[in-house]
Structure 1
Amino acid sequence: MPAPTNAKGVFTICPTPFDDALKVDTESIKSLVDFLLDTGITGLAILGFLGELHKLNNAERRLVTDTFIKHTKGRVPVWVGVRAHGITGAIEQAQEAQDSGAAAVFAAPLDNASDALLFDYYKAVADSVKIPVVIHDFPDSFGTEIRPEVVARLGKEGGVNMIKMEEPPVGQKISRIRDLAGDEAMKIFGGLGGMFFLEELQRGAVGTMTGFAYPEVLVEIYNRFAAGDHKGAAAVFDRYCPLIRYEFQPKIGLALRKYIYQQRGAIRSNAIRSPGMRIDALTIKELEATVARVGLSTTARGRQVVKA
């Protein structure tokens, strides 16, 4: 079984870039990697829910994985999403990611699975690879609740020692998992667009895995908090909350992020495959006004200055 990981910090959930013809854009993958590394993130997470994994065929999934990992060249770890209808398919995806050089995989749960099946599923995936397996706990999107008792058991008995936890209210669940599992058996990452990042850190999360298109903001919050400047971390969080909130809107959040990444020069097109909502001119106007209100730019290239 994989040894517990010491991963922490900000892992950016990456969108999968498409060109205007909706083909995978490998050149934009490369420019996105370079852009994100410049913001100071700890790692990349690809083919998550916002990576449109469910809209890719198998060959495209392997192409996206290989391109991200090869271009990153070990500069930061790359974690790869797994989502399948059964244990066999999940194992296949996890092993493919491992063979491509992934540092870890984060696996969505099986649909409507019982506690016993969830334990067997995650343990089987962990037993099948030598890299860490991360639980992806996002019931609003996956429809499956993973109870803290199951998480704790996986940490103690199942060889699964990390979770990306996205079930509100996040604070109570983080505390419950820590009480049951202990910090060594289960490392907790937040998500949900960074909407509760400060509270997640205060409750004992070791970082976040999310797709906010200004990751330098989350990096600044994490770095201040980790250095003991909790007041400064809170000030940064409070300043940028309007943008974090606006960008994480259900159904349209991916379109907002891809638009920002395109405007910031990270990708060439903001194309989204169906099903998925697009943004209109009024929404773009609202988004750009919110970005300006917190003191950031939609068009400036490179890492932007983050202030408290």
Structure 2
Amino acid sequence: MKRLDETARGVFTIAVTPFKPDGALDLHSIDQMVDYYAEKGATGLTILGIMGEAGKLSADESRSVIRRVVARSDLPVIVGVSAPGLAAIRSLADTALEIGAVGVMVAPPWTLRTDTQILGYYRDVSETLGDIPFVLQDFPLVTNVVISAETILKIVADCPNCVMLKHEDWPGLDKITTLRAASDAGARRISILCGNGGQFLPEELRRGADGAMTGFAYPEMMARVVAAHDAGDVDHAQEVFDAYLPVVRYESQPGLGLAVRKYILARRGAIAHDTVRKPGKPLSENTIRDLEFLVTRLEKRLATVHS
């Protein structure tokens, strides 16, 4: 499979990491999950991201997840390799590419504060990775690192192996517009895939994004929205999105979203258990009642639409 490049588009689903009720890694559920994402329209997978609980895995567990996903999937796989040190980033990146991943994703460490520091860091990342293509993860709500559009353009200009932006700034629609205006004017164009649970996907596509990179529990929604947009039917893209919006909104709650996502995925048969590894907490009974109401309502609405 060819390596990740600037032409990537579609839906690269951010995969959860399945665990058994005792917190052990659930390799069998990884197979189920990969099949589920493919069946629901994913064009690629991104593993070991923030919502993949990468920080809760040992190095051996991380390698096991990469091997299992790549062995099961015919889709291109991107691996999150963010770490405090460059040596750790390079080590996991080498492992990922040797196993069969097409590229890696790197988020900035929280210690970066100025544009100069951010640019210097990604120059170092680029040099460390060599010919390995990487995704710049721009998620200031979690990393606390604010990266301006101007700094992203400098990173893209200085780092030829930076081939994609995972856009998760919020508010950030104007950032997409600025980046696309720059590429239209001659700057190197890279792929832009967007996160934040898909909350702004229709608007992001209309601003020039190439698709989604997020883990909403109904990946078929994102696939259908992107397909409708690419076909020029922006009204239908919005209508599809609107049907799922109550669940998108509920899943997007900070600190609760991953547990909500895993509950729905388990309910849909994508994984065997909805376990969030400690210190993550299970959902309360009241939250489950909320979810069941929303999911049942969504299922009825979709049944009416497709009948």
TM-score by length of 1: 0.91
Match of 1:38 in 2: 39
Displacement of 1:181 after TM fit?
4.4
Matches within 5 A, 1:186-201: 186-201=190-205
Residues 148 and 180, structure 1, Cα contact 8 Å, conserved in 2: no
What's the % identity of the aligned pairs?
Answer: 38
What CA distance in whole angstroms lies between the structure 1 residues aligned with 2:109 and 2:304? Answer: 39
Match of 1:49 in 2: 50
What CA distance in whole angstroms lies between the structure 2 residues aligned with 1:19 and 1:259? Answer: 13
Change (3 A) 1:175 1:147: same
Q: Which runs of 5+ in 2 are unaligned?
A: none
Displacement of 1:249 after TM fit?
1.1
Displacement of 1:207 after TM fit?
0.5
Matches within 5 A, 1:230-241: 230-241=234-245
Displacement of 1:274 after TM fit?
1.8
Deviation digits for residues 214-250 of structure 1, max 9, x if unmatched?
1101111111000111111111112211111111111
Q: Which runs of 5+ in 1 are unaligned?
A: 298-303
SS, match of residue 79 in structure 2? strand
What CA distance in whole angstroms lies between the structure 1 residues aligned with 2:143 and 2:88? Answer: 16
Match of 1:112 in 2: 111
What residue identity is the alignment partner of 1:68? V
What CA distance in whole angstroms lies between the structure 2 residues aligned with 1:80 and 1:3? Answer: 11
Matches within 5 A, 1:143-182: 143-159=144-160, 160-182=162-184
Residues 224 and 240, structure 2, Cα contact 8 Å, conserved in 1: yes
Change (3 A) 1:123 1:19: same
SS, match of residue 24 in structure 1? coil
Displacement of 1:179 after TM fit?
2.9
Residues 98 and 129, structure 1, Cα contact 8 Å, conserved in 2: no
RMSD: 2.0
Match of 1:123 in 2: 123
Match of 1:288 in 2: 292
Matches within 5 A, 1:239-258: 239-258=243-262
What residue identity is the alignment partner of 1:58? A
What CA distance in whole angstroms lies between the structure 2 residues aligned with 1:90 and 1:282? Answer: 41
Residues 10 and 211, structure 2, Cα contact 8 Å, conserved in 1: yes
Residues 50 and 254, structure 1, Cα contact 8 Å, conserved in 2: yes
Match of 1:300 in 2: none
What CA distance in whole angstroms lies between the structure 1 residues aligned with 2:39 and 2:215? Answer: 15
Change (3 A) 1:201 1:250: same
Displacement of 1:305 after TM fit?
7.0
Residues 3 and 132, structure 1, Cα contact 8 Å, conserved in 2: yes
Change (3 A) 1:176 1:33: same
SS, match of residue 213 in structure 2? strand
Residues 107 and 138, structure 2, Cα contact 8 Å, conserved in 1: yes
